[in-house]
Amino acid sequence: MRSHRRLRRLVVDERTTYLWSVRHKHRDGDVCREVLNLCLDGARTRVVFRSGEPGSGRYVADGYWFAGCVADGRGNLLNLREPGVVRALVDEAARRELLPGKGELDGWELFHSVVEAVEVSRAAAATPGVPPGSPPGP
């Protein structure tokens, strides 16, 4: 059985490797949070998804989905334990020049851009190069 608490590695390029993990936390009263911890060369950045009020469009797993999931209530869901989702978050935060940096980022600011990036990536991976049942090429 795989441990969800272990540090994982995300290799961006030959010089950039992030260590990352995901935690579900309760702080600030009873507010639930999903926190993606990123570490690059000692600089630690937390991408935080705080649950909102009912109807706010900011939902964290908290027993409703698999641990590490966040959703907007409109059918968009990200599983922060998937390496592809973490890569999309890192890419979007880097594009906005938020990484590397120490501190905390509001994950909801990145959410919709990351959902679009993940959907495009999944669609490209699911598109077959040759339709099933086609005869071999020339």
Q: Give pLDDT, residue 2.
A: 55
Give the C-alpha separation, 10 to 132, whole Å. 33
Kindly state the average pLDDT of the residues 86-111. Answer: 90
Residue 75 covered by a domain: yes
Residue 128 covered by a domain: no
Q: Which helix (H) or strand (E) holds 32?
A: strand 31-40
Residue 3 covered by a domain: no
Domain residues for the domain of 107 are 8-119
Residue 129 covered by a domain: no
Q: Are 32 and 51 in contact (CB under 8 A)?
A: yes
Query: Model confidence at 51, in pLDDT bands (50, 70, 90)?
Result: confident
pLDDT tens digits, one per residue of 56-92: 888 888 766 678 899 988 888 999 999 999 999 999 9
By three-state DSSP, how is residue 50 classified?
strand
Residue 131 covered by a domain: no
Q: Give pLDDT, residue 1.
A: 44
DSSP state of 76: -
- The tokens for 93 are 């935060």
- The tokens for 64 are 């409703």
Kindly state the average pLDDT of the residues 112-130. Answer: 73
- How many domains, in total, are found in the chain? 1
Residue 36 covered by a domain: yes
Residue 90 covered by a domain: yes
Residue 88 covered by a domain: yes
